[in-house]
């Protein structure tokens, strides 16, 4: 361990843990890569290796609602829902994150309520929101009860990310700017936002992906029209063709695009700042 | 003096304004729904009518005297303990490797991201992706047969307790790695050097310095893993092929008969168990003090 700083020879534990890490990464990505490859399966429709006559037919099959289900419709609901959840998560958790920089009467209650909302089993909350909407005489829909269910999980996550981000925003920076004669707005614009902005992108990433992939909380709350994870869930029991893998590939690619966009914009901002 | 308290009051007001959206979301979509679940769990169920607002303990008595409930909770607790141990050991050592063994900070962050990216992708897809790997004609069985290690495919790889644990570990280890990594990254490295200089062995440093200083991360990770496994229905039903149940299976069945009161009672029991575990974790570690500084 001391050698990790004096840059001497690496201890044997380094090699053991490095091997563990590599195995873990294979464990993490191996199955996903298998699905990615098998989604190009040919007309043999085999769900396992080997890959015979690679083709794009199963991607084509996704647009055939009689065979597979309403994938396009599910996607057209999941995407806007994820975007709405993303925007609201950013607004709510960023403002709340700033409030928590000081202790105020009730801060503990609100904090522990948010943590409880994060760890309450998704099914329990799903039932609760469904029952609430029934009592209010409202019918469940993805943009009402579904949205609320997703927020109850994405917002506390965003809050946790904000805690990590604001932990690095030392109040003395703002005080120094104030002492140098900066106005409130100038402090926010030139001190706070540059430090916090990458964190806000991270919050947005959490908001989007947590909603886009959420299943247990969506289960009872999205109403009669499925979101994408629910559609995939029904497919796991109905569809026994590589179309399922093709859908897996498509959703994973969407997720990866979102992740890549977020991470690279964080990287660009960091690099610009260090200049 | 006066102006000072005035400014203070003003900033307190703006603090409350800042926290209002969060409070509204939490009240509408968490506090009220959970309160209603508790309320409905004491109501009567009638076929075709559904929820009848008459106070009764029947739902709870039904559930707690039913041996199925106990065996389902037993099986869920078994999974929880196994998964908790595996994810903790993996999470701890992977975070340790990234923080203390990888010398270049950018490399460490890059490798950390490699571990976290799957978190942002679909759980269901990640679950299904074990089928072509663990199945009877899957990659592992094929490889074992081709190398002559076994003659017949192993049946217990998929649709078994084994595959359930594999899927849980696959899905939830991230929830251990991230908070433990966070705690470890804050440890002042000179502390470790001081311990070594004072004659501690490398194991001694891990045991007496790193482990205690990572306990917030471990507690948060454990909180996530426990609540995710306890509240899970979908992983168990897909990965066990319907062979194993979970604490939520009863809830699932009740809902199919629109028996909301008993589903709610089931939910409340689960909630109480989860909250008891969470509470005991919070007793061990003041999570808030560590998170908000």
CB neighbourhood size of B4 (10 A): 8
Q: pLDDT digits over A60-72, tens only?
A: 888 776 767 788 8
Tell me the average pLDDT across A218-243.
85
CA dihedral (B251, B77, A158, A197) positive or negative: negative
User: What pLDDT was estimated at residue A3?
Assistant: 42
Q: pLDDT digits over A22-57, tens only?
A: 999 999 999 999 999 999 988 887 888 888 888 888
**Taking 90 as the threshold, does the pLDDT of residue B80 lie above it?**
yes
Inside any domain, residue A4: no
User: What pLDDT was estimated at residue B11?
Assistant: 81
Q: How far apart are CA B229 and CA B270, in angstroms?
A: 12
User: What pLDDT was estimated at residue B170?
Assistant: 95
Q: How far apart are CA A162 and CA B18, in angstroms?
A: 14
pLDDT-based confidence at residue B248 (cuts at 50, 70, 90): confident
- Between B290 and B37, the more confident residue is B37
CA atoms in the 13 A half-sphere facing the CB of B110: 6
**Taking 60 as the threshold, does the pLDDT of residue B258 lie above it?**
yes
Peptide bond into A170 cis (omega under 30): no
- Give the residue from chain B lying closest to A209, CA to CA: B120
Number of domains in chain A: 1
Residue B18, min C-alpha distance to chain A (Å): 5
User: What pLDDT was estimated at residue A1?
Assistant: 42
**Taking 70 as the threshold, does the pLDDT of residue A251 lie above it?**
yes
Q: Number of A to B CB contacts under 8 A, please give it.
A: 269
Residue pair A69/A231 in contact by the 8 Å Cβ criterion: yes
Q: Do A111 and B292 touch (CB under 8 A)?
A: yes
Q: Given CB atoms, is B265 within the 8 Å cutoff of chain A?
A: no
Tell me the average pLDDT across B227-243.
87
Tell me the average pLDDT across B31-59.
87
Q: Do B274 and A120 touch (CB under 8 A)?
A: yes
Tell me the average pLDDT across B62-90.
93
- Chain B residues with CB under 8 Å of A28 CB are 115, 118, 170
pLDDT-based confidence at residue A4 (cuts at 50, 70, 90): very low
Q: Which residue in A82, A94, A87 sits closest to A160, CA to CA?
A: A94
Inside any domain, residue A49: no
User: What pLDDT was estimated at residue B1?
Assistant: 42
- Chain A residues with CB under 8 Å of B271 CB are 120-121, 124
Tell me the average pLDDT across A73-85.
93
**Taking 70 as the threshold, does the pLDDT of residue A5 lie above it?**
no
Tell me the average pLDDT across A139-156.
92
Inside any domain, residue A33: no
Q: Do A125 and B33 touch (CB under 8 A)?
A: yes
Q: How far apart are CA A34 and CA A43, in angstroms?
A: 18
Reduce the DSSP state of residue A218 to 3 states and report it.
Answer: coil
Domain boundaries defined on chain B: 67-291
Domain holding A150, by residue range, is 69-238
Q: How far apart are CA A176 and CA B86, in angstroms?
A: 47
**Taking 90 as the threshold, does the pLDDT of residue B259 lie above it?**
no
- Chain B residues with CB under 8 Å of A48 CB are 132, 135, 137-139, 142
Q: Given CB atoms, is B158 within the 8 Å cutoff of chain A?
A: no
DSSP character at residue A140: P
Q: Do B231 and A121 touch (CB under 8 A)?
A: yes
User: What pLDDT was estimated at residue A156?
Assistant: 95
Q: What is the mean pLDDT of chain B?
A: 88
Q: Which fold has domain B67-291?
A: MetI-like fold (1.10.3720)
ipTM given for this complex: 0.88
Q: pLDDT digits over A124-134, tens only?
A: 999 999 989 98
Q: How far apart are CA B32 and CA A117, in angstroms?
A: 11
Inside any domain, residue A98: yes
- Chain B residues with CB under 8 Å of A98 CB are 18
Q: How far apart are CA A90 and CA A155, in angstroms?
A: 8
| H or E segment and range at residue B44 | strand B44-46
Residue pair B210/B96 in contact by the 8 Å Cβ criterion: yes
Q: How far apart are CA B258 and CA B246, in angstroms?
A: 19
Cα A260 off chain centre by? 13
User: What pLDDT was estimated at residue A158?
Assistant: 94
Tell me the average pLDDT across B210-227.
91
User: What pLDDT was estimated at residue B16?
Assistant: 92
Residue pair A146/A227 in contact by the 8 Å Cβ criterion: yes
Inside any domain, residue A54: no
Longest CA–CA separation in chain B, Å: 87
User: Range with the lowest mean pLDDT among A234-248, A254-268, B152-166?
Assistant: A234-248
Cα B168 off chain centre by? 9
User: Range with the lowest mean pLDDT among A4-8, A87-91, A161-165, B45-49?
Assistant: A4-8
User: What pLDDT was estimated at residue B237?
Assistant: 86
- Between A232 and B289, the more confident residue is A232
Residue B98, min C-alpha distance to chain A (Å): 9
- Chain A residues with CB under 8 Å of B197 CB are 2
- Chain A residues with CB under 8 Å of B97 CB are 14, 17-18, 20-21
Sequence-distant (6+) residues with CB within 8 A of B25 are: A88, A92, A148, A151, A152, A155
Tell me the average pLDDT across A185-214.
89
Q: Do B19 and A32 touch (CB under 8 A)?
A: no
Tell me the average pLDDT across A210-223.
89
**Taking 50 as the threshold, does the pLDDT of residue A2 lie above it?**
no
Q: Given CB atoms, is B7 within the 8 Å cutoff of chain A?
A: no
Domain containing residue A185: CATH number: 1.10.3720.10
User: What pLDDT was estimated at residue B87?
Assistant: 97
Inside any domain, residue A59: no
Residue from the list A88, A108, A110 with its beta carbon closest to the beta carbon of B23: A110
Sequence-distant (6+) residues with CB within 8 A of B225 are: B80, B83, B84, B87, B88, B172, B175, B176
Sequence-distant (6+) residues with CB within 8 A of A113 are: B26, B30, B31
- Between B256 and B60, the more confident residue is B60
Q: Do A163 and B292 touch (CB under 8 A)?
A: yes
Q: Which residue in B179, B172, B175, B169 sits closest to B214, CA to CA?
A: B179
Q: How far apart are CA A5 and CA B6, in angstroms?
A: 51
Q: Please state whether B228 falls in left (phi above 0), alpha (psi between -120 and 50) or beta.
A: alpha
**Taking 70 as the threshold, does the pLDDT of residue B127 lie above it?**
yes
User: What pLDDT was estimated at residue A94?
Assistant: 93
- Partner A, chain B 98-117, Cβ-Cβ below 8 Å: 98, 100-101, 103, 111, 113-115, 117
Tell me the average pLDDT across B67-74.
91
pLDDT-based confidence at residue A77 (cuts at 50, 70, 90): very high
Inside any domain, residue A263: no
Q: Which residue in B255, B118, B100, B99 sits closest to B181, CA to CA?
A: B99
User: What pLDDT was estimated at residue B55?
Assistant: 87
Long-range contacts from A4-12, C-beta under 8 angstroms, 24+ separation? A4/B100, A4/B101, A4/B103, A5/B189, A5/B193, A7/B103, A10/B101, A11/B202
Structure tokens at A6: 């004096």
Sequence-distant (6+) residues with CB within 8 A of B15 are: A99, A102, A104
pLDDT-based confidence at residue B290 (cuts at 50, 70, 90): low
Inside any domain, residue A12: no
Tell me the average pLDDT across B154-175.
92
Residue from the list B37, B196, B270 with its beta carbon closest to the beta carbon of A2: B196
Q: pLDDT digits over B105-114, tens only?
A: 889 888 998 9
Compute, in degrees rounded to 10, the torsion defined by CA atoms B63, B66, B70, B75. -100
Q: What is the mean pLDDT of chain A?
A: 87
User: What pLDDT was estimated at residue B292?
Assistant: 59
Cα B209 off chain centre by? 26
Longest CA–CA separation in chain A, Å: 73
Tell me the average pLDDT across B151-180.
92
Tell me the average pLDDT across B67-80.
92
- Chain B residues with CB under 8 Å of A12 CB are none
HEC letters along B107-174: HHHHHHHHHHHHHHCCHHHHHHCCHHHHCCCCHHHHHHHHCCCCCCCCCCCCCCHHHHHHHHHHHHHH
């Amino acid at each position: 361990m001391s050698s990790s700083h004096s840059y001497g020879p690496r201890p044997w534990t380094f090699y053991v843990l490095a091997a563990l890490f590599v195995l873990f990464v294979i464990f993490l990505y191996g199955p996903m890569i298998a699905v990615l490859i098998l989604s190009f399966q040919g007309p043999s429709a085999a769900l396992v290796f080997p890959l015979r006559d690679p083709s794009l037919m199963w991607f084509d099959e996704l647009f055939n609602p009689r065979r597979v289900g309403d994938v396009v419709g599910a996607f057209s609901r999941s995407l806007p829902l994820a975007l709405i959840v993303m925007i609201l998560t950013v607004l709510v958790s960023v403002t709340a994150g700033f409030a928590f920089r000081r202790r105020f009467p009730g801060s503990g209650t609100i904090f522990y309520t948010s943590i409880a909302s994060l760890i309450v089993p998704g099914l329990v909350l799903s039932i609760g929101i469904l029952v609430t909407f029934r009592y209010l005489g409202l019918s469940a829909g993805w943009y009402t009860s579904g949205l609320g269910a997703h927020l109850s999980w994405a917002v506390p996550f965003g809050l946790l990310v904000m805690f990590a981000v604001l932990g690095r925003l030392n109040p003395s920076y703002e005080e120094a700017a104030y002492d140098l004669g900066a106005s409130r707005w100038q402090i926010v614009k030139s001190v706070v936002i540059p430090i916090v902005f990458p964190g806000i992108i991270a919050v947005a990433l959490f908001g989007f992906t947590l909603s886009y992939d959420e299943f247990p909380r969506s289960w009872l709350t999205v109403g009669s029209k499925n979101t994408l994870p629910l559609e995939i869930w029904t497919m796991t029991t109905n569809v026994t063709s590589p179309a399922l893998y093709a859908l897996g590939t498509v959703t994973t690619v969407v997720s990866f695009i979102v992740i890549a966009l977020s991470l690279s914009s964080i990287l660009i901002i960091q690099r610009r700042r260090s200049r | 003096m006066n102006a000072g308290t005035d400014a203070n009051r003003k900033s307190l007001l703006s603090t409350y304004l800042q926290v209002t959206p969060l409070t509204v979301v939490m009240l509408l979509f968490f506090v009220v729904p959970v309160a209603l679940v508790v309320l409905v769990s004491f109501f009567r169920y009638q076929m075709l009518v559904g929820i009848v607002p008459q106070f009764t303990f029947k739902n709870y008595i039904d559930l707690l005297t039913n041996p199925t409930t106990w065996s389902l909770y037993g099986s869920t607790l078994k999974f929880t303990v196994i998964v908790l141990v595996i994810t903790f050991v993996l999470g701890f050592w992977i975070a340790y490797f990234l923080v203390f063994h990888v010398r270049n900070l950018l490399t460490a962050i890059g490798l950390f991201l490699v571990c976290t990216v799957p978190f942002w992708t679909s759980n269901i897809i990640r679950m299904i992706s074990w089928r072509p790997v663990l199945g009877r004609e899957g990659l592992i069985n094929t490889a074992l047969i081709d190398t002559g290690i076994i003659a017949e495919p192993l049946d217990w790889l998929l649709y078994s307790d084994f595959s359930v644990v594999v899927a849980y570990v696959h899905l939830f280890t991230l929830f251990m790695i991230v908070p433990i990594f966070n705690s470890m990254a804050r440890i002042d490295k000179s502390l470790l050097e001081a311990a070594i200089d004072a004659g501690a062995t490398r194991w001694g440093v891990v045991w007496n310095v790193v482990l205690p200083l990572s306990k917030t991360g471990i507690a948060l990770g454990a909180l996530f893993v426990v609540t995710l496994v306890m509240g899970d229905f979908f992983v168990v039903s897909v990965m066990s092929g319907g062979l194993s149940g979970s604490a939520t299976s009863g809830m699932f069945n009740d809902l199919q008969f629109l028996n909301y009161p008993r589903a709610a009672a089931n939910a409340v029991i689960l909630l109480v168990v989860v909250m008891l575990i969470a509470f005991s974790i919070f007793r061990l570690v003041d999570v808030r003090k560590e998170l908000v500084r």
